[in-house]
Amino acid sequence: MSLNSSILLNEDNAQGPKRNTECLESLELQTPSSLQDNPFQQLQLASQEVLEKAKKSGRSKCPRCSSSRMFYCYTCFVPVETVPTKEIPTVKLPLKIDIIKHPNETDGKSTAVHAKLLAPDDVTIYKYPCIPEYEEKRHEIALIFPGPNSVSVKDIAFHLQKYTKKGVCATDDDCFREPLLKQAKIEPEEGKKPHQCISSSRSEGTRLKKIIFIDSTWNQTNKIITDERLQGLLQIELKTRKTCFWRHQKGKPDTYLSTIEAIYYFLVDYHQEILKESYNGQYDNLLFFFSFMHTLIKDAKCCAGKE
């Protein structure tokens, strides 16, 4: 029963539940060669034993709405009864995240809920058109979205300097014509050169505090991205990562990531490029559910002869 349920997220199960159950149980017998095909094997993930147990017991009730779900309730954003909250890892993020979900996006197919489950204190999910007003905080907010004006993560600090609490420049030329603010004299910190201290001072005034992600199919994004409340925000594109999502949309580049992948890879790049700190797996558990389901679905497809 566990395979015919939402664990496969509506994937076709032509071979029937019995065959699928046998396939999933065979995950415990993976060979070294199959591990090489696992893109998540190097991640520092919490034990997924709780998910293995839940998989074997099948669907369970949501403790809030009593709906039958597998692993977690995608409408209440909580684990089901067979997945104790204390056994689910939590991740502390360096900034807040708003996820704007398209009203027609199927809840059970969305990976946005993973972020809310694993970083509940730092993630908020809104269902469009109910979203916040960002006008007054454009100098500290950015939007993850590919486009002609998108910038890379490493260029965030530079471009945020164009945004002030009084407004935003209409064009890049307007920004460069404005007089630069006077810089206070800064005494070099021990071990730092003067230009490094000045750069640090400027970045403090343009520190990114919130990042926005759109959760929808790529064909649905136009309705949200053209909303006037999102106009003028700094846009960031993740160009170097490839998706592992099992529902990759045909005709789209493999650099178009699922929502949880985009969040994870952005934070890794942000940690290294902006915070200038070595990355030691601090955000790996954001892929706690995603990596488990990726393996689950990949092996089920393989057993069903789809790969």
Residue range of the domain that includes 282: 92-161+206-247+258-306
Give the C-alpha distances (Å, rounded to integers) separating 191 from 80, 169, 187, 194, 197. Answer: 51, 36, 12, 10, 10
Distance, in Å, from the CA atom of 9 to the CA atom of 7, rounded to the nearest integer, reads 5
- Does one domain contain both 79 and 103? no
- Report residue 239 as tokens: 């160009």
Residue 114 lies in a domain: yes
Q: How far is CA 187 from the centre of its chain?
A: 39
Residue 267 lies in a domain: yes
- Report residue 127 as tokens: 């269902």
- Does one domain contain both 286 and 300? yes
Q: How far is CA 209 from the centre of its chain?
A: 16
Domain boundary among 88, 119, 152: 88
Q: How many structural domains comprise the chain?
A: 2
- Does one domain contain both 79 and 134? no
Residue 11 lies in a domain: no
- Return the pLDDT at 198: 35
- Return the pLDDT at 207: 83
Query: What amino acid is encoded at 257 in this protein?
Result: L
The crossing angle, in degrees rounded to 10, of helices 288-303 and 49-57 is: 50
- Does one domain contain both 147 and 66? no
- Return the pLDDT at 251: 59
- Residue 45, helix vs strand vs coil: coil
Strand-pairing partners, residue 142, are 211, 234
Domain boundary among 88, 120, 148: 88
- Does one domain contain both 100 and 54? no
Domain boundary among 73, 88, 103: 88
- Return the pLDDT at 307: 53
Residue 234 lies in a domain: yes
Residue 10 lies in a domain: no
Match 């000045």 to its residue by tokens.
Answer: 198
Q: How far is CA 26 from the centre of its chain?
A: 29
- Does one domain contain both 68 and 136? no
For 213-249, the DSSP string reads EEES-TTTHHHHHT-GGGTT-EEE---S-----TTPP
Tens of pLDDT, residue by residue, the chain (307 residues)? 322 323 333 333 333 333 333 333 333 334 334 444 678 888 999 999 999 999 999 999 999 999 999 999 999 999 999 999 999 999 999 999 999 999 988 888 889 999 999 999 999 999 999 999 998 888 999 999 988 889 999 999 888 887 754 455 544 444 433 333 333 333 444 554 444 443 443 444 458 999 999 998 877 888 899 999 999 999 999 877 877 766 666 656 666 788 999 999 999 999 999 999 999 999 999 999 999 998 888 777 777 665 5
- Does one domain contain both 222 and 133? yes
Match 């204190």 to its residue by tokens.
Answer: 121
Residue 124 lies in a domain: yes
Angle of CA points 93, 98, 103, to nearest 5°: 140
- Does one domain contain both 219 and 300? yes
Sign for the CA dihedral angle at 296, 302, 305, 307 comes to positive
Burial class (CB in 10 A: 0-12, 13-18, 19+), 295: buried
Total-model pTM = 0.74
The crossing angle, in degrees rounded to 10, of helices 288-303 and 16-25 is: 120
- Return the pLDDT at 68: 96
- Does one domain contain both 144 and 126? yes
- Return the pLDDT at 184: 38
Residue 290 lies in a domain: yes
- Residue 194, helix vs strand vs coil: helix
Pseudo-torsion of CA 260, 214, 276, 187, nearest 10°?
-150
- 12 touches 252 (CB < 8 A): no
- 140 touches 207 (CB < 8 A): yes
- Does one domain contain both 72 and 211? no
Residue 14 lies in a domain: no
